[in-house]
Structure 1
């Protein structure tokens, strides 16, 4: 087993590196490449026979993914659009799951209701990463991004609650009254537990000053929210969302700046690894899944079922955002234009969360191979069919506002720097810092302010100007640093520290060029 896990880990690592390289070089969807590479890796002796326990997928992958999305959500914007987000998340997720369950039940004879609902719950939630990355890059309205991200966050909780209900239906007969009471218990209990845990961690985290310990606690937090809640029969995903959102609201007061920078980088890498690994795992299992349904009595129904489910998933969302949303007479809905609703409908791409739910369907569940195969087809179809067309669609609809967004951010940078300079003058006037120290900080912030004002005045530096000079100066310093190390004038630690400072300087230069 140890050898198998080693082979699996090495295969996944190679797939991640190769997929990322090919994706950037040929401008191909990274997720598709990961699935294809996983499929190729499954042919290696000893790898294809490895089966990851379904419960492990849900327990290991889901909590950090949901927590990260909640923690880094936009709190003020999310509150302002809470009504569209909640209505979209609850209504559209439930309708999509039920329609998929009905479609599968009608085309696959003998499939249990619980199994059909489990598939519906798996393919109902959207994954905003592929969609919002394109939308943000093109500078589409920020509100559109907020609604898509907020909806995706809430519909994860709704879908997983329905998934838990579907698993209960697979194990025992339940009545409508029992289902309603169970949902109330799961939802309310999960929210209450999440709030209690968030309060405790919110009080604990400021007491921990070590950056490493803070990162460890941040990694443990989603699992402390999810696993105990699930053992208590509550909604672990809702508890995780509540904890992430609560701590995200107060993140500036919980962590010192150095810890925030390190923590954000750590979580970016972790989420990338988790999401990418899910796609590789799908590729590793897809042949076994396919062989599991090939030759079965349901095999003739598979192509029609796959096409029908994809049509239901895409069609229900388009109809809901274009037709149903205007009928909901809420004030916040009234200001959403037709073209924004159209993009919202077309941006319903499925991804890592759908895979996590589908792969976590119990191995003994009726028709598991079929359900996983259909879910995989839905994910691949939306990634191939919808994701590449989002950018042309946004350009066609004229929804890019990149210049406005950049100017807004740059104006905010200018205000921040001016407030810092004013505070330096106040501290110097009150003799809280000596004039020499104050002058050093003045020069630092005035230099940054000059770069910001150059952007606001649209006086961008040409390639042959100051930007090129600063680049050459950094390059010269790197060369000198390497020379000092090679001549044994400095130690490896000193070299690493100075190189890190040059990295930060280059990063500031790039960010100054892009946004001030």
Structure 2
């Protein structure tokens, strides 16, 4: 069997799992892992050996970038406390607890090497959890927490892994791990900010959707490579660059750029996200073959992996309980302070000119929206249970395990332990998560409420857009007034989203059709400004803002007449 045929079969398997998995009530990653294991046992199938550095340096950056560009900044900001706790504190606690456990169980394994193993198995991969959550309708805030955790926890674990590996060689004192961690995080954030800002500026001036999309594929590596070279967290730099790009694209990119970027990156994300689980399944046979009985057997390594899985689940549950209590306390405080937020109270701060600016109004709206978010989308014990049970490990755990030094005692067994943790958590926690969600009766956002909220936002945007028609100064680019019948045509449309053009506008025409298109674009610009203002204040839920953004992009794309 040739590798090209194997690749074609792999693509077909990805698509098949995506179609069959939901019908079976099982997440596609779980189906792919089992398919990979089964495929590796077929006689004549060549061993699939992918260097772990390829996963960490070539697959992980674009995968994280694809997820980061789609997470709204306002959601990340509102959940920063919980995301930081899950992706940093929980990762470090899990790594050290597992490290102490295996240092005690395997005396030949030094404490730094044991902590390195802990860092390998500590970061959950929320791909399966978020796919299950979206399909079964988890509350949006819970999906955001899982999504945000999966973007940042890999950075925490890999930085800790690098420091622990260095400590095993005696090149760094173990007490300096925290300093190394702080440097890696700060440097990565700075690099990610610079790369995100510069590439967005460059792409916004290209004027060619193909070139824009092409550069987007390089952005993750433009952030990852320099950060990695200066010993910072390359994956965190990628996440920051992705968040900056996603936030600024709404203002600086054209509608066609955004539409093409969404489609292309969704395709890339699908292939990478699911392909790594298929490859992970294929790697099981090779790992088993590497284990020798001179230290301890395959069954013993699998047993230790199952033990580590139980410990990790217990640590996560123990961590989520106080985290949930902290979030509930924030909810109580928001209920108390929310009604007190007003422009009058905000105005009583010291000011140089004593005037209330538009920025003051936006600040008050933002604060009110933040309080409303905390009080209306709080997590109860049922959401906490789902969060605690969503600690599935994935391909990063398996790939990171291969970076353990070759001189590490029991290295082959440690690789199998890491693989067992990933497989067991995916099958047990991932396999039972849908049942847990259904048993607890957790439901997602109210579709009717979303439609009503979307209607309100669209009405707000439309009102601002139609105000352009009442402006006596509105004119064409050459200074001439728009024909009255064109103005009335736009006014009578009422809802710009409900209207579609039956034909592309003639770019060379100077008559009413061209005027109509130009005026519609002018109205859309005003509506987009209203949408961006609503997004910046957080007055509407991110999912509704995103839908409104898609509506505007589709309308602008049709009016642009681009190929």
* Shorter-chain TM band: 0.7 to 0.9
1:419 maps to 461
1:272 equivalent to 2:261? Answer: no
- Please, which runs of 5 or more residues in structure 1 have no aligned partner? 451-506, 512-516
1:30 maps to 28
1:439–1:26 distance in 2 versus 1, CA, 3 Å: farther
1:301 maps to 300
- Structure 1 segment 169-208 matched on structure 2, within 5 A: 169-208=167-206
- The structure that is helix-richer by fraction is 1
- Please, which runs of 5 or more residues in structure 2 have no aligned partner? 334-377, 476-481, 500-549, 555-563
Task: Give the deviation of 1:213 after TM superposition.
Answer: 1.1
Task: Give the deviation of 1:191 after TM superposition.
Answer: 2.2
1:342 maps to 385
2: CA distance, partners of 1:363 / 1:436:
78
CA contact (8 A) 1:325 1:333 kept: no
2: CA distance, partners of 1:234 / 1:333:
38
Task: Give the deviation of 1:65 after TM superposition.
Answer: 1.6
CA contact (8 A) 1:118 1:162 kept: yes
**1:274-296 superposed Cα distances (whole Å, 9 cap, x missing partner):** 12221122122210101211534
1:364–1:10 distance in 2 versus 1, CA, 3 Å: farther
1:169–1:60 distance in 2 versus 1, CA, 3 Å: same
1:220 maps to 218
1:294–1:76 distance in 2 versus 1, CA, 3 Å: same
Q: SS in structure 1 opposite 2:283?
A: helix
Task: Give the deviation of 1:318 after TM superposition.
Answer: 0.7
- For the aligned residues, what is the CA RMSD? 3.3
1:373 maps to 416
Q: SS in structure 2 opposite 1:386?
A: helix
CA contact (8 A) 2:224 2:235 kept: yes
Q: SS in structure 1 opposite 2:46?
A: coil
1:395–1:26 distance in 2 versus 1, CA, 3 Å: closer
1:98 equivalent to 2:131? Answer: no
Task: Give the deviation of 1:188 after TM superposition.
Answer: 2.4
**1:421-462 superposed Cα distances (whole Å, 9 cap, x missing partner):** 663473377464445545655666648559xxxxxxxxxxxx
2:450 maps to 408
1:201–1:422 distance in 2 versus 1, CA, 3 Å: closer
2:317 maps to 318
Out of 220-229 and 70-79, give the one that drifted further: 70-79
CA contact (8 A) 1:123 1:350 kept: yes
**1:202-257 superposed Cα distances (whole Å, 9 cap, x missing partner):** 33221122111111111101101111211222211121122112222212023211
2: CA distance, partners of 1:101 / 1:249:
38
**1:88-114 superposed Cα distances (whole Å, 9 cap, x missing partner):** 322111111112222233334523444
TM-score by length of 2: 0.71
Q: 1:54 aligns with which of 52, 55, 59?
A: 52
2: CA distance, partners of 1:428 / 1:219:
43
Task: Give the deviation of 1:7 after TM superposition.
Answer: 5.0
**1:490-509 superposed Cα distances (whole Å, 9 cap, x missing partner):** xxxxxxxxxxxxxxxxx99x
1:154 maps to 152
CA contact (8 A) 2:27 2:131 kept: no
2: CA distance, partners of 1:445 / 1:363:
68
- Structure 1 segment 236-275 matched on structure 2, within 5 A: 236-275=234-273
Out of 278-287 and 132-141, give the one that drifted further: 132-141
1:202–1:340 distance in 2 versus 1, CA, 3 Å: same
CA contact (8 A) 2:134 2:143 kept: yes
2: CA distance, partners of 1:63 / 1:203:
21
**1:344-372 superposed Cα distances (whole Å, 9 cap, x missing partner):** 21122223443443455566755443333
